[in-house]
Amino acid sequence: MLYGWNGKILRINLTKKEIKVQQLNKDLLVKFVGGRGLAAKILWDELKPGTDPLSSENKLVFMAGPLTALPLPSSGKIVIAAKSPLTHGYGDGNIGTKFSVNLRKAGYDGIVIEGKAEKPVYIFIENDNVEIRNAEHLWGLDSFETEDKLISEVGKAFGIVEIGPAGENLVKYAVVMSEKGRAGGRPGMGAVMGSKNLKAIVAHGDKEIAVFDKDALVKKGAEGYSKIKQSDAYDFWMRQGTMGVLRWCQEANVLPTYNFREGVFDEFEGITGDVLEKLKEFTKGCPNCNMICGHNVKFKVEEGEFITELDYENVAMLGSNIGIGDLHKVSYLNMLADKYGVDTISVGSAIGFAMELSEKKLIDERIEWGDYKKAAELIEDITYRRTELGKMLAEGIEFTAKKIGNGAESFAMHVKGLPISAYDCHSAPGMALAYGTSPIGAHHKDAWLIMLEIKQLGRHAYNKGKVEKLIWMQNIRGGFFETATTCRLPWIEVGYPFEEYYDLFYYATGVKISYDFVHTLTNRIYALIRAFWVREFRAEGREWSRKYDMPPERWFKEPLTKGPEKGAKLDYDGYNKMLDWYYEMRGWDKNGVPTKETLEKLGLSEVTKVIWG
């Protein structure tokens, strides 16, 4: 008997119009747990090396974990994964939505979508009834309109995920959207969905998920909710959510400014969490969460008055990073990105890059820092691929930099093709390493080391202790939360103890876990994902090397010119030393490839053969 896991996933082939249910065995589930663990295993096993990410051969995986939808804190998340069209490596994202809870209650842990529909379709799931339905009437609608239309067709009980026009137009960093303010899959999961002519998935389920010890789980879950509410950090969190960190970033000199040239922004007072509080209309959030953080603001620009949901990453990348110090204007750009279904971080990075290209006269267009109208125009040009610059930027900043040449690559702020999320690292080497070693490219999802680094680890130090902390953090965030798959914010933001999850996991599944389990699980998943990158790069004619784990040149060569950290830049040798320690601790060789011994020890002999012959 399986507990916690449903042990079933849907297999939907859009080319063949085939729907199947696949059973998963317990050994596999315990070995990879769920979310990104199972998704990575499926993509490794089933993709032909060198698969074109936007071809019908790529697979789009929605995968929950054994804690999703259970009565415990913030359990409404699901992972979306595929080979990334942006990076050509492993890509995933994590989204909180009613869809995840409904999918699990319909009896499935995940969905693997294969092939490509002839015409636009959406997938309808209601418990055992699964259908592929026509979506021609939805194609072309933005994500808000799509959600409204689908609700009117299937009813409010359904959870919905969809793409906007950016996904339809295969913008390489299109995301999957839900509920007008949730977004997942920065490395282009929305484009993969669009390439399959899949506009949306709707799900409703009302089955009970069997758990190992229901009474204990319910009790522990309830205790969790009350611990969260009693936390000292709760009130401030409820007021500002992720936006609470913006002022700290400015003070710490890490707020991305002018395409990561600086870490302080003169006009930052116009875009802080305090301004958010003044504009706030209402707050909403993911299912099963009592610390909801979807802060929706009412804002006014020349174009009219609107509402949008704001998070720190969005505001920093569409604000200070492109020279805008007015939350109304930033909100407008954020709303466009959500409607079109394009990643705010990547599009903010693309706009900042274009502004700097313009400043350096490397392109003909004139796009001044801080010009929100031009920025809005660019978001549309990218979404609809309607100008030469828009078309180029829709392929990503790495692509654009290569095309432009003339030194542009040194200020294209990405790692492995994925734009850096909103923390400047001129003066934070540990965070730079977190970006360098993140399994999807430069995202803070796996390790937000920066606050710990600045407050406790000796900001400018390059030492082993920092690398150990990074690995610990990746294990918990990237290993546990991305497989279990619950929201990590109760642990990070309001101090809900991580150890409580061992009990929750046990009461849900009957499997006892500890930190050792989490460490081995993460080593396994990271090794598998790293092997995926190596295999795919080789198949596309690029030999893997440690250069792919290096942050952009700017942070090594151009010191900060302002703020308390003025003069700071990264040290090349220091970074490389930390990278070596990192590889050693994960059991990887000098180029960052998991060794034979490591792969065997982690039970990945199927990988050894492919990587080492």
Cβ proximity to ligand SF4, 74 vs 421, nearer residue:
74
CB of 312 to ligand PTT, least distance (A): 4
Cβ proximity to ligand PTT, 83 vs 363, nearer residue:
83
The verdict on 345 binding ligand PTT (CB under 6 A) reads yes
Candidate segments 87-95, 212-220, 249-257, 354-362, binder of ligand PTT by CB under 6 A: 87-95
Which among 437, 480, 436, 471 is positioned nearest to 452, based on CA atoms?
471
The verdict on 487 binding ligand SF4 (CB under 6 A) reads yes
CB of 178 to ligand PTT, least distance (A): 7
* CB 70, CB 551: distance < 8 Å: no
The verdict on 77 binding ligand PTT (CB under 6 A) reads yes
- Among residues 94, 438, 483, 523, which is the contact residue for ligand PTT, using CB under 6 A? 94
Query: How far is 393 from 354, CA to CA, in rounded Å?
Result: 8
The verdict on 260 binding ligand PTT (CB under 6 A) reads no
Backbone angles phi, psi at 513, to 5 degrees: -130, 165
- Among residues 85, 89, 93, 441, which is the contact residue for ligand PTT, using CB under 6 A? 93
Q: Which two tokens stand for residue 440?
A: 């999807």
The verdict on 162 binding ligand PTT (CB under 6 A) reads no
Cβ proximity to ligand PTT, 296 vs 358, nearer residue:
296
Cβ proximity to ligand PTT, 504 vs 593, nearer residue:
504
What is the footprint of ligand PTT within residues 34-73 (CB under 6 A)? none
Cβ proximity to ligand PTT, 291 vs 528, nearer residue:
291
Q: Which two tokens stand for residue 39?
A: 């998704």
The verdict on 169 binding ligand SF4 (CB under 6 A) reads no
Candidate segments 57-65, 124-132, 133-141, 486-494, binder of ligand PTT by CB under 6 A: 486-494
Which residues, in sequence order, are CB contacts of 485 under 8 Å at separation 6+?
A: 34, 35, 36, 63, 64, 65, 67, 68, 77, 78, 79, 94, 100
Which residues, in sequence order, are CB contacts of 439 under 8 Å at separation 6+?
A: 90, 446, 478, 525, 526, 529, 530
Q: Which two tokens stand for residue 117?
A: 């529909």
Query: How far is 236 from 209, CA to CA, in rounded Å?
Result: 34
Which residues, in sequence order, are CB contacts of 243 under 8 Å at separation 6+?
A: 272, 273, 276, 295, 310, 311, 312, 315
For residues 436 to 475, the per-residue mask of contacts with ligand PTT, x marking binding by CB under 6 A and - elsewhere, is ---------x------------------------------
Which residues, in sequence order, are CB contacts of 276 under 8 Å at separation 6+?
A: 240, 243, 295, 297, 310, 315, 327
Cβ proximity to ligand PTT, 146 vs 344, nearer residue:
344
Q: What is the bridge-based pairing of β-strands 77-83 and 90-96?
A: antiparallel
Which residues, in sequence order, are CB contacts of 493 under 8 Å at separation 6+?
A: 233, 237, 291
Which amino acid, one-letter code, is at 560? L
Query: How far is 436 from 416, CA to CA, in rounded Å?
Result: 8
What is the footprint of ligand PTT within residues 267-326 (CB under 6 A)? 286, 309, 311-314
What is the footprint of ligand SF4 within residues 279-318 (CB under 6 A)? 285-286, 289, 291-294
Which residues, in sequence order, are CB contacts of 407 under 8 Å at separation 6+?
A: none
Query: How far is 599 from 601, CA to CA, in rounded Å?
Result: 6
Give the length of the chain. 613
Residue whose Cβ sits closest to ligand SF4: 285
For residue 94, the partner it binds in ligand PTT, ligand SF4, none, with Cβ less than 5 to 8 A by kind, is ligand PTT
For residue 175, the partner it binds in ligand PTT, ligand SF4, none, with Cβ less than 5 to 8 A by kind, is ligand PTT
What is the footprint of ligand SF4 within residues 67-86 (CB under 6 A)? 74, 76
The verdict on 487 binding ligand PTT (CB under 6 A) reads yes
What is the footprint of ligand PTT within residues 171-200 (CB under 6 A)? 175, 181-186
- Among residues 78, 150, 337, 432, which is the contact residue for ligand PTT, using CB under 6 A? 337
Which residues, in sequence order, are CB contacts of 271 under 8 Å at separation 6+?
A: 246, 315, 316, 319, 320, 324, 325, 326, 327, 330
CB of 163 to ligand PTT, least distance (A): 11
Which among 331, 103, 101, 72 is positioned nearest to 222, based on CA atoms?
72
* Partners of residue 20 on adjacent β-strands: 11
What is the footprint of ligand PTT within residues 230-249 (CB under 6 A)? 242
User: What's the first-to-final CA gap in the chain, in angstroms?
Assistant: 38
**Sites of contact with ligand SF4 (CB under 6 A):** 74, 76, 96, 285-286, 289, 291-294, 487, 489
**Sites of contact with ligand PTT (CB under 6 A):** 77, 93-96, 175, 181-186, 242, 286, 309, 311-314, 337-338, 342-345, 445, 481-482, 485, 487-489
